[in-house]
Amino acid sequence: MVNITLLPWVILFSPLLAAFFIALFFLRSPKIAGILSTASVLISFAASAALFGFYLKNPSLLPVETAYAWISIPGLSIPFGFLIDRLSLLMLLIVTGVGSCIFLYSIGYMRGDQSFPRYFASLSLFAFSMLGIVLAHNFLMLFVFWELVAVSSYLLIGFWFEKPSAADAGNKAFIINRVGDFGFVIGIFMVWMLSGLGGAERTFLFSELATRIPDLAHQNLVTPAILTVAAFLVFCGVVGKSAQFPLYIWLPDAMEGPTPVSALIHAATMVAAGVYLLARTFFLIHDLPNVLETIAVIGVITAGMAALLAVVQNDIKKILAYSTISQLGYMVMAVGLGSSTIGMYHLTTHAFFKALLFLGAGAMIHSLHTQNIWEMGSLLKRMPVTAATFLIGTLALCGIYPFSGFFSKDEILALAYEENRVIYFAALLTAGLTAFYMTRAVWIAILGPDRKTHGHDHHAVHDAEPIMKWPLIVLAFFSVTAGFMGIPAFIMGGHGEHPHFNMAVAITSTGVALAGIALGTLLYARVKNRQDPLERFFGKAYDVLVKKYYLDEAFLALANFFQKLIAQILFIFDSKVIIDRGANGAAQLTAGLGSFIRYAQTGKLQTTALVFSFGLVALVAFMFLRGF
Amino acid sequence: MPFGLTSWILLTPALGGCLLLFVPKNRPDTLKAIAVLSVTVSLFLAALTFFNYDKVAGGYQFVDRVEWVKSLGIFYHVGLDGISSVLVLMTAILAFAGVMVSCSVTRDLKEYLIFYLFLIVGCFGVLVSLNIFFMYFFYETAVVPVFPLIGVWGSGNKEYATMKLTLYLTLGALLALIALLGLYFVTGLQTFELPLIEAAVTAQPLPIEFQMWAFPLIMVGFGVILTLWPFHTWSPMGYAAAPTSVSMLHAGVLKKLGAFAIIKLGIGLMPQGAAYWMPYVAWIAVINIVYCGLIAFSQKDLKFILGYSSCSHMGFILLGLACLTPTALNGAVFFMFSHGLMAALGFALVGFIYDQTHTRLLEDWGGFGKKVPLVGTLFVMTALASAGVPGFGNFIGEIMILLGAWDRHRVPAILAVTGLIITAGYMLKTVRGAFQGPLKTKGNMLKDATGAGRLPYLLLIAILLLVGLLPSLLLPSISAGTKPILERLASSGI
């Protein structure tokens, strides 16, 4: 039997070692890089499975926490350690399991790229960082890995950096996430400060905070307002990372990265890290109804806004990107409605079917050399496995029984039905929209006729090679069956609230989804040309959607305000006022004071020096006055 | 033994410099070999002292003391405490990297290396001197060789830049000198011996009136070299004009000498003065971070971007000093170490490309990443380190400074966090402009670093990563060094 405390180390560091060795030695050996990287994540997966299996047999041992000194000086202690509980066990399996599929798939997808080893080095770095978030047992360590996933995301979005749009997208993703992290880091500081109010030494440990923070409120050591501020600040990090309104604008641009990256980072795992964080720090928001409600509202707004945008996209990856934002909105909403379990449940099923959809889209892009759905078509014949698995993913996303998405989405809707009817109806409408935009995509890209004008490469189009095909099949299997695996029961550990199931809600939501599918079929099943019928119906409103509510423009204007206008004004102030006006102005004054100074005024520099010393004298004089 | 390890750290570059005087100009390989050898030896010695410094015992170790002018209390007295052992190590690393980079100088290499080695001696001297007279002497020694180095070997508006830089720093030093002379008399000990003064201050704090006027003189006087706003304008201009290896050492080490002097002579000897004045400094620190950071956005010359960036980062050090809390002070020293490596690497990489393209304008660069993958990758890493990404030492320093500032100066601390967004913004913008996108014609002939030329860069990035991942390599030494200072603060009720 392997030493069980060793397993988290293996899980976490095997991808890092792969990244390290590739970066140092194998940047010119694609074969070794691919094998090393994929093997490392498979090792992580095996270790995660072993860990999972062990604790499934010995659930009474959970949660397990191990800590090692990292920063330890008088007055500050930041340990490095792992927290193994049901939450992290589940997440470990998702990240390494879905990750393994995507690493394998990447070997086929990225073959022939001249920076193949760099791709795998970055992807391994990502796996390490993501697993770090999952295993972190304290806030600061989580933040460290939180930043590292942002870096690996930056590196992978801008993987083809010679392409301006890709390079810009990487920057946008990083900066927008930093804006969210601004709040997050201050939130962490606040929580850290609050942890010491009871008299004990301050701490970053989740296990300690989970008991101390609720106690603070009970003992009236702190007003709810302070806790609310702290909770919102932490939530800022979620808004950035999990692409919630209004910071979601980086995620569609992130589709510039290679498609497997979009599947792993920008659909299945990293963007879900925000939801994981909410589940991990649920103790922060648990007793604050205002915070919960706001979170739920932001979630549902995100879900609805993004679903509307998905309707007008013509790029298959953009459709899936907005769909991801929308589904992340569902997860955040579920947490806001009071159940992190259900949020995590939807995270899990979504990881399977959205990774599947992205990889399927990747296979189409790989074969057809286009991302435009209007240039695809008749794929059921040409790429049967890809098309069939894509349809499975679509049905799961639409929430059709018995696919996994049905179960998790239904629990969210049932929860919303109990907690907040307005949110319930908005979420229901979004579910209909989801079914509609996916049906649209499926009819145009897969079931409809081949609309590509130059159809000469007709024969070249076929299903992908086995290394790309098998991951699709595995993910399709889980997209179908994940609903029957008892995931919510596992998260709650057999006790706690009964899973929400409401037959009326289930029937309604299925009806709405079917209506969406029917409407989509009605509109798009018979479209022969490349004209979207919706465009004619909606005119102006359609334009607003195409322009993405002008939110990108607003952010751009804000960014330019600071980085162009304010920066330029400050620079002019710096060079004209502090250097010229300050120096020269005072120089004229001194020139009037006495002619003897003219000796020294041979040039601008002496003037500066002189003014400088006068300035200092003035300063000293001021200090004397101030000090006595 | 009169000359122990500490003295030899100081003496090897000086001996190397003297030896170079006797080597003919037309033997560049011999010149380079001697220069590299001398800094290699001092790097080795610095590492030796760093690892052998007894962190439990603390205090001054590896002490050498020779009487010089006994009546005035002036001794040749050198030694290391926890802070200086860390900073000497950083200086030795940068000196090594800087000399390696200097070897690519073509014009008057001999003179360049001599000046450069004496600049290094000055830097070491300030850090190891335990006599304030010598500390000041070495400070001037460090400031003066920069004048010809920029004036002769620089580029662009170099005469103006070097005059401005030298005058600012010298006048700043004069200001500090007033306070130091005051210190000499006010202690009543008639001595410049730092350990004696420190012992006296521990037993009996200096008169409060003295602290009130002397502390700001130290703070501003040495703050000039730390680019305390608004005395920062010499810096971007000076660095833009300076040859690569001078920018490296100046941004990396010389700025930190100001911070070191403020810690040892300002905070360490005048805790009450510091407590009174530091709240103002905390706000100036925020101005440094935000104002200089935003200006970096508007710069078109890469060295100006790095120059303003460095002024912005000094805000974090200023904030760390302003807190007078253990976490922030230790964090500030940690940040000094990390920033030194990071800043030097940034200037070195820009210089490497400038030597080939002869332009530093961001608009002339573009798509270089494909041409120089190693240098490009290193620059991306520098940019990320600069933006406070975990894994690099800068993050540890920044997070400690911010945590330490949280209780003392909460609003400045929160405002300082915007620095993390701002830095990420202009550094990624620079990476985007210089290394990404389609290749511009200026980069057609660009060649990547190869062979021994990679050594300085790899050394800097490796150590930056190492301390970022394992901060405990530095922290025990740093906290041993700050302990007596913090105790004096605590006993003054701060």
Q: How far is A494 from chain B (nearest CA, A)?
A: 38
Residue A625: per-residue pLDDT: 54
Helix (H) or strand (E) holding B40: helix B28-52
Average pLDDT estimate for B123-133:
93
Query: DSSP state, B106?
Result: -
Rounded CA-CA distance A150/A109 in Å is 23
Instruction: Report chain B's mean pLDDT, rounded to a whole number.
Output: 92
Q: A132 with A81: CB under 8 angstroms?
A: no
Rounded CA-CA distance A257/A625 in Å is 61
From A606-610, B64-68, B420-424, the region with the lowest mean pLDDT: A606-610
- The torsion region of residue B107 among left (phi > 0), alpha (psi -120 to 50) and beta comes to beta
Rounded CA-CA distance A601/A614 in Å is 14
| Alpha helices by DSSP H, A58-135 | 86-109, 116-135
Residue A492: per-residue pLDDT: 82
Portion 350-409 of B in contact with A at CB < 8 A: 367, 369-370, 384, 387, 389-391, 395-396, 399-400, 402-404, 406-407
Residue A617: per-residue pLDDT: 55
ipTM of the complex: 0.93
Residue A497: per-residue pLDDT: 59
Q: Which two tokens stand for residue A209?
A: 């905070």
**What b/e readout covers B352-389, taking b as 16+ CB neighbours within 10 angstroms?**
bbbeebeebebebbbbbbbbbebbbbbbbbbbbbbbbb
pLDDT digits (tens, 9 = 90+) for B5-43: 999 999 999 999 989 988 888 888 999 999 999 999 999
Rounded CA-CA distance A261/A256 in Å is 10
Residues of A in contact with B403 (CB under 8 A): 76, 189, 192
Residue A459: per-residue pLDDT: 60
Is the pLDDT at B366 greater than 60? The verdict is yes
Rounded CA-CA distance A321/A316 in Å is 9
Distances (CA, A) of A129 to A297, A366, B283, B408: 30, 28, 35, 33
Q: Which two tokens stand for residue B159?
A: 């005469």
Q: B79 with B198: CB under 8 angstroms?
A: no
Secondary structure of residue B69 in the 3-state scheme:
strand
- B254 vs A607: which has the higher pLDDT: B254
Neighbours of B239 (CB within 10 A): 28
Answer whether B104 touches A (CB < 8 Å). no
Answer whether A226 touches B (CB < 8 Å). no
Secondary structure of residue B68 in the 3-state scheme:
strand
The owner of tokens 């991808």 is: A15
Domain edges within chain B: 5-481
What is the DSSP track for B278-346? HHHHHHHHHHIIIIIHHHHHT--BHHHHHHHHHHHHHHHHHHHHHH-SHHHHHHHHHHHHHHHHHHHHH
Rounded CA-CA distance A335/B296 in Å is 41
For the whole model, what pTM was predicted?
0.92
pLDDT over 90 for what percent of chain B? 73
Burial of A592 (C-beta count, 10 Å sphere; 0-12/13-18/19+): exposed
Residues of A in contact with B327 (CB under 8 A): 73, 75-76
Per 3-state DSSP, chain B is made up of helix, strand and coil in percentages (nearest 5) of 75, 5, 20
Nearest CB partner across the interface for B295, out of A71, A571, A608: A571
Interface contact B233-A578, CB threshold 8 A: yes
Q: A509 with A399: CB under 8 angstroms?
A: yes
Secondary structure of residue A401 in the 3-state scheme:
coil
Residue B219: per-residue pLDDT: 95
Q: B327 with B478: CB under 8 angstroms?
A: no
Answer whether A555 touches B (CB < 8 Å). no
Residue A454: per-residue pLDDT: 56
Answer whether A601 touches B (CB < 8 Å). no
Q: How far is B229 from chain A (nearest CA, A)?
A: 10
**Amino acid sitting at position A459:** H
Average pLDDT estimate for B436-454:
89
From A464-468, B209-213, B218-222, the region with the lowest mean pLDDT: A464-468
Residue A494: per-residue pLDDT: 65
Residue A600: per-residue pLDDT: 40
Interface contact B167-A147, CB threshold 8 A: no
Q: Which two tokens stand for residue A459?
A: 């024969």
Rounded CA-CA distance A342/A333 in Å is 10
Residues of B in contact with A628 (CB under 8 A): 209, 212
Mean pLDDT by 10 residues, chain A (628 residues): 82 95 91 95 96 90 89 89 93 95 94 92 96 95 96 95 93 93 95 89 92 87 90 95 93 94 92 95 92 95 94 93 95 94 94 95 91 88 92 94 91 92 94 94 88 61 86 93 85 67 88 93 84 79 82 85 84 75 50 42 46 52 49
Question: Please, which residues have CB within 8 angstroms of residue A350's CB and are 6 or more apart in sequence?
Answer: A267, A268, A272, A327, A331, A405, A408
Nearest CB partner across the interface for A574, out of B233, B330, B471: B233
